[in-house]
């Protein structure tokens, strides 16, 4: 395992961390098993969020008796002082600890970031919690370049998390600025929300950028832990063949693809928007047409149920033309 310093926080962390979103799909016992394996493998950085339903509490149960082996990072969508203070206490209780190493402002818009910083905003609660010893450091997560750039100018921001992967390199320059300014950079969405199927190549690409402090893929079993460590800590430069594959992936996926973040929900017509795009990806990219068609046919609402209200597009952080994309999917699937 390679270890590195998480920017100006000074915390020593493994170059590969644990992304806490997928454990919503496994159970508490499975999570415990996973954490025992991670401890054995030397992975110590753990990322979760108040918004990931049971993730914090599963992790809390999983680290019982071995809290000191992990660096815990969580985040909250609260924007006011009162709500953030409450969330910090809930996170502490869920995680079964009296100290969280890193607490992050979760994906604010520019307007929400203003609110966080203003009098009565969430930052006041974070600073008070840090003084009280409930949290160690403060970070921010973003999906927009504008928010990322603004975060670089805020002296209380010690870490920044932003999507970074083979097909989402728009943050490269700002990531370099993080390194120059001693701000820890946490790469999220290493597999572009499931759009990339070669996890080894995806992680090798990210790890080959020295400006990235830590990458946080989801992991569900010992085999994935081993594979991810091998990929992220290999240290060998990308080969010509790998670079060619990366270019091929970029040419195939382009930029208009769904990252399955589900921020567009709820759909007025009850469509599972990322679900439709996932099946569309299986149909068009992965050669699983029959399987995708059968799964799509079983969906309660399909792309053709879209009433064109456009609400989802105002919520998509990637500005995807969801209505047009649904129309194209409906044509391909025939409904
Ligand atoms: S535009 Fe279509 S997909 Fe988007 S919220 Fe409205 S009905 Fe749902
Ligand atoms: S359409 Fe946009 S908001 Fe919805 S899941 Fe995909 S990327 Fe996320």
- Those residues of the chain that have pLDDT short of 50 are none
Question: Is the distance from the beta carbon of residue 258 to the nearest atom of ligand 2 less than 6 Å?
Answer: yes
Q: What is the pLDDT of residue 139?
A: 98
177 and 315 both lie in a single domain: no
Q: Is residue 318 part of a domain?
A: yes
Q: Is residue 261 part of a domain?
A: no
d(CA 17, CA 176): 20
d(CA 178, CA 157): 10
d(CA 37, CA 245): 31
Q: What is the pLDDT of residue 25?
A: 66
Q: Is residue 294 part of a domain?
A: yes
d(CA 219, CA 150): 31
Phi, psi of 163 (to 5 degrees): -65, 135
CA angle 201, 203, 207 (to 5 degrees): 120
- Boundaries of domain holding 83: 3-245
81 and 125 both lie in a single domain: yes
Q: Is residue 215 part of a domain?
A: yes
How far apart are the CA of 44 and the centre of ligand 2, in A?
A: 30
196 and 310 both lie in a single domain: no
158 and 23 both lie in a single domain: yes
CA angle 291, 320, 25 (to 5 degrees): 50
149 and 282 both lie in a single domain: no
Ligand nearest to the CA of 274: 2
Query: How many CB atoms sit inside 10 A of residue 209's CB?
Result: 16
Q: Are 313 and 320 in contact (CB under 8 A)?
A: yes
Q: What is the pLDDT of residue 117?
A: 97
For 188, counting Cβ atoms within 10 Å of its Cβ (0-12 exposed, 13-18 middle, 19+ buried), the class is buried
Q: What is the pLDDT of residue 287?
A: 65
Q: Which atom of ligand 1 is closest in space to residue 305's alpha carbon?
A: 7
**What is the Cβ-side half-sphere exposure of residue 94, based on CA atoms within 13 angstroms?**
24
CATH number at residue 241: 3.20.20.100
How far apart are the CA of 271 and the centre of ligand 2, in A?
A: 12
**3-class SS shares of the chain: helix, strand, coil, % to 5:** 50, 15, 40
d(CA 38, CA 50): 22
Note the maximum CA span of the chain.
Answer: 59
pLDDT digits (tens, 9 = 90+) for 142-164: 988 899 999 999 999 999 999 99
- The residue among 197, 229, 245 that closes a domain is 245
Q: Is residue 266 part of a domain?
A: no
Instruction: Report the first-to-last Cα separation within the chain, whole angstroms.
Output: 49
113 and 223 both lie in a single domain: yes
Q: What is the pLDDT of residue 150?
A: 97
Q: What is the pLDDT of residue 161?
A: 97
d(CA 42, CA 14): 7
Q: Is residue 265 part of a domain?
A: no
Give how many domains the chain has, as a whole number.
Answer: 2
13 and 63 both lie in a single domain: yes
Integer-rounded Cα radius of gyration of the chain? 20
74 and 120 both lie in a single domain: yes
168 and 77 both lie in a single domain: yes
> What are the pocket residues of ligand 1 if the criterion is a CB atom closer than 6 Å to any ligand atom?
267-269, 271, 273, 306-312, 322-323, 326
d(CA 207, CA 265): 32
94 and 140 both lie in a single domain: yes
């Amino acid at each position: 395992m390679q270890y590195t310093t998480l920017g100006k926080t000074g915390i020593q962390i493994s170059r590969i961390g644990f992304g806490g979103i997928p454990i919503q799909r496994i159970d508490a016992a499975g999570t415990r098993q996973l954490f025992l394996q991670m401890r054995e493998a030397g992975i110590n950085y753990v990322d979760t969020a108040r918004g990931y339903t049971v993730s914090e509490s599963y992790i809390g149960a999983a680290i019982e008796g071995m809290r000191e082996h992990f660096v815990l990072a969580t985040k909250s969508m609260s924007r006011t002082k009162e709500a953030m203070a409450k969330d910090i206490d809930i996170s502490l209780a869920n995680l079964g600890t009296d100290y969280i190493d890193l607490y992050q402002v979760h994906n604010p818009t520019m307007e929400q970031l203003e609110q966080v910083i203003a009098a009565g905003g969430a930052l006041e609660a974070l600073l008070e919690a840090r003084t009280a010893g409930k949290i160690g450091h403060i970070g921010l997560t973003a999906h927009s370049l504008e928010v990322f750039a603004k975060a670089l100018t805020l002296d209380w921001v010690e870490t920044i998390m932003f999507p970074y992967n083979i097909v989402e390199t728009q943050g490269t320059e700002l990531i370099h600025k993080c390194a120059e300014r001693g701000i820890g950079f946490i790469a999220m969405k290493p597999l572009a929300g499931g759009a990339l199927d070669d996890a080894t190549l995806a992680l090798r690409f990210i790890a080959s950028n020295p400006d990235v402090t830590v990458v946080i893929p989801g992991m569900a079993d010992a085999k994935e832990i081993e594979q991810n460590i091998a990929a992220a800590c290999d240290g060998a430069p990308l080969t010509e063949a790998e670079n060619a594959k990366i270019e091929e992936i970029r040419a195939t996926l382009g930029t208009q693809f769904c990252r399955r973040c589900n921020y567009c929900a709820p759909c007025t017509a009850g469509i599972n928007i990322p679900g439709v795009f996932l099946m569309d990806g299986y149909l068009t990219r992965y050669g699983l047409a029959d399987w995708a068609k059968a799964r799509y046919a079983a969906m309660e609402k399909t792309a053709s149920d879209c009433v064109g209200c456009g609400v989802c597009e105002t919520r998509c952080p990637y500005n995807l033309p969801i209505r047009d994309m649904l129309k194209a999917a409906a044509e391909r699937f025939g409904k």
